[in-house]
Amino acid sequence: MSKDTLQSVSLSSQFFELVEPLWRFLVLAEPPAKADVIFVFGSQDLSVPSHAAALYKLGYSRNVLVSGNYGRMTKDVFTQPEALVFKDCLVKNGVPAERVVAECDATNTLENVRFGVKALGRRELKIATALIVGKPFVMRRCRATFARQAPEIRVRCCPPTDEIRTSIDREPGAFAQRLVSEIERLDRYGLSGDISLEKIPLSVRTAVQRIQRGKVF
């Protein structure tokens, strides 16, 4: 189902009551500031590279890194890796191709950071600060991944939006479960040491339990 279709669906107040605690916790949105690179996480959402292009044209950085091979949501949709799809979008939106580094091997967020930082190093770009751009609800995990995998880089989270109503990209029940999955990944990857360990508020844990019991609407 397209975003336009979903936005025409009347969602219940109970749905938003359940998912908003997860959304508010997961979505980190900070004012942009000058940075050494705009670091873009691949996905199926083309508003992500469009937003990165806007940040570039506003002068927040002279360099853009896009990272991503094919993912579960893009393997049957894109005809080339996410990084190249995003690079094409960036160029169409006014970013010079020579200012874009495309890293096409990463298949998850951990690899996005590891491989992306290495790709920047191969370009001999010294990176101390980054604006990270991705789907809104992955921002906390992206930041936590940088904190563990590249702690020397100071990041600011700059998603395209922090509005939940314009971000529902699948059926409401599936969207709620995707947010639950994101909380579970924070727990699992934090315990494994791949990302910094995040403290999950009780209100979020309670909302997760209610969604898992099927009380979404």
pLDDT tens, 142-201?
A: 999 999 999 999 999 999 999 998 898 888 889 999 999 999 999 999 999 999 999 999
Per-residue model confidence (pLDDT) at position 181: 97
Instruction: Please tell me the total count of domains within the chain.
Output: 2
Distance CA 103, CA 116 (A): 6
Asked if 209 and 152 sit in the same domain, the reply is: no
Asked if 149 and 90 sit in the same domain, the reply is: yes
Mean pLDDT score of the chain: 92
- Give me the mean pLDDT over the 16-29 stretch: 95
**Mean pLDDT comparison of 5-9, 11-15, 68-72, 161-165, highest-scoring range:** 161-165
Asked if 133 and 177 sit in the same domain, the reply is: no
Asked if 7 and 98 sit in the same domain, the reply is: no
Distance CA 130, CA 97 (A): 19
pTM: 0.92
Distance CA 23, CA 12 (A): 16
Per-residue model confidence (pLDDT) at position 112: 98
Half-sphere exposure of 197 (CA within 13 A, CB side): 4
Which stretches of the chain are assigned E, i.e. beta strand?
A: 37-41, 64-67, 100-103, 129-133, 154-157
Asked if 18 and 37 sit in the same domain, the reply is: no
Q: What residue numbers bound the domain in which 122 lies? A: 28-161
% of the chain beyond a pLDDT of 90: 81
